[in-house]
Amino acid sequence: MARKKEQSVEFETLRRHAEERLKDESPKAEFARPYDETERLLHELQVQHVELEMQNDELHQVQENLEISRDAYAELYEFAPVGYVSVDAKGIILKINLAGAALLETERGLLVTRPFSSFIADSEGRECFVDHLKLVLSRKVVLKCSLSLMGKNGTKIHCHLQSVAVFEKSKPKLIFISIIDDTARFQLENKLMDSHFNLEMAVNELNIKKLELENLNNTLELRITQAVEELRQKDMIIILQERHALMGELINNIAHQWRQPLNTLALVIQKFCMFYGSDKFNKEFLEMSTARAMTYIKQMSGTIEDFMNFFRVDKQKVTFSVELLLERTVRIIEKSYEDEHIVVEIQCEGVPSIKGFPNEYAQVLLNILANARDALLERRLDDALISIRAFSEGGKAVVTITDNGGGINEAIIDKLFDVYFTTRGPDRGTGIGLYMSKTIIETNMGGHLSVRNTAHGAEFRVEV
């Protein structure tokens, strides 16, 4: 505003001087002065006048911006959520905002001219505040300080101070202090310390309990190890029993396979004694009888070879023909099944070869066939039938074994593959044959073994 007045006075002075010069000059001089000079002076005056008006407008704008900034600063200062206080070099309060007055629980009018240290809760804090002011005045940077304040109503406030000195002509004018209420954080830290102490106590108790549990666990582990070892020994005994039972079945099948060839071989040998000394005892008779005897001996030898193959342990997976293995398996049991009046039919439809353990796979087939035979013998059917069908489906070799024994009770069909589950009674079965079969197919060979009831009996399905 003062600058504007100075510019107006300067313009009026220039204009007045120009008019006086025009009046003082004689007519002769007036006519002698060039007309262009007068025009130039007037133009310069007009230009200066315009420039002064523009400067005046700029000064007006600057003044308005300053007033807006001052008002904004005043609002920020007065209504800030953080307490602000201005003190002199001795710590006397010069000015304080609303938040600061609220922290000290005192009206602002009663705070001015009072020492800020009078609101510090303890002597240690007051000494700290005095040292803090000295450092702020000497270093001329923002410094921090933590202390406790005591309000008018006796409320103790834990605060965090940030102070900076304001200088005027190298002399301290005031010290500006921000007061941050750290009471909540201080209380939280105390709670955390208490919680930490309680946690340490709880951890110690847990460590004691942990030691007790470790001792108990060691005892339990020892007992469990002993129990597992006992169960493993029992399982081994049961598995051996199952293998012995299977071996007994195979020996029984071998007996059935050998009975007819042995009878025929005995007849051939008896003919040697009967025809000896007669005209029929010639070279042709000897050759024919020897050939027949060798045929039956080879047949029995083949049966022994099949028997040995079944009990040979597979060391690694090999590719084998399901169709050939199926025929070999049925060849071993078909004679004994015929003697029990059970018909076994085989139908193969382009079965692919698979990779796995052939002897284990054959053991699965024997277990399923044995279960089917037992079911048929219990019902004493005149037309007992076991149908075996092998085919390819979805890139898998599928074998189904179906009987006409009436099926499996739906209440127990889901338990059929459980370990130790048997429907034969403890004197006729161990309950691990089908469990072992499922383990062989699904765990060892990555296939699937399932069972379902059909219209006439049960159907086992082996997929690999």
pLDDT above 70 for 229: yes
Average pLDDT of span 325-349 = 84
pLDDT digits (tens, 9 = 90+) for 269-306: 887 888 887 877 888 888 888 887 887 677 677 667 66
CATH architecture of 312-463: 2-Layer Sandwich (3.30)
Residue by residue, DSSP assigns 352-398 as: PPEEE-HHHHHHHHHHHHHHHHHHHHHHT-TT-EEEEEEEEETTEEE
Q: What SS3 state is found at 435?
A: helix
- Which letter does DSSP use for residue 120 in this model? B
Query: What pTM value is reported for the model?
Result: 0.42
One of 3.40.120.10, 3.40.50.1820, 3.30.450.20, 3.30.930.10 is the CATH number of 81-181, namely: 3.30.450.20
- Report the pLDDT value the prediction gives residue 32, as an integer from 0 to 100: 45
- Report the pLDDT value the prediction gives residue 47, as an integer from 0 to 100: 79
Beta bridge mates, 386: 344, 403
Q: Are 406 and 369 in contact (CB under 8 A)?
A: no
Q: Are 83 and 183 in contact (CB under 8 A)?
A: no
Where residue 391 falls among pLDDT bands split at 50, 70, 90?
A: very high
pLDDT digits (tens, 9 = 90+) for 398-425: 999 999 988 888 888 888 887 666 665 5
Average pLDDT of span 43-51 = 78
- Report the pLDDT value the prediction gives residue 115, as an integer from 0 to 100: 92
Buried b (16+ CB within 10 A) or exposed e, 129-145: beebbeebeeeeeebeb
pLDDT above 60 for 73: no
- Report the pLDDT value the prediction gives residue 388, as an integer from 0 to 100: 92
- Which letter does DSSP use for residue 413 in this model? G
Average pLDDT of span 377-391 = 88
Average pLDDT of span 261-266 = 74
Residue type, 296: Y
pLDDT above 60 for 162: yes
Rounded to whole angstroms, how far apart are CA atoms 361 and 157? 84
Query: Could you state, in order of their start, the residue ranges of all structural domains in the chain?
Result: 2-77, 81-181, 312-463
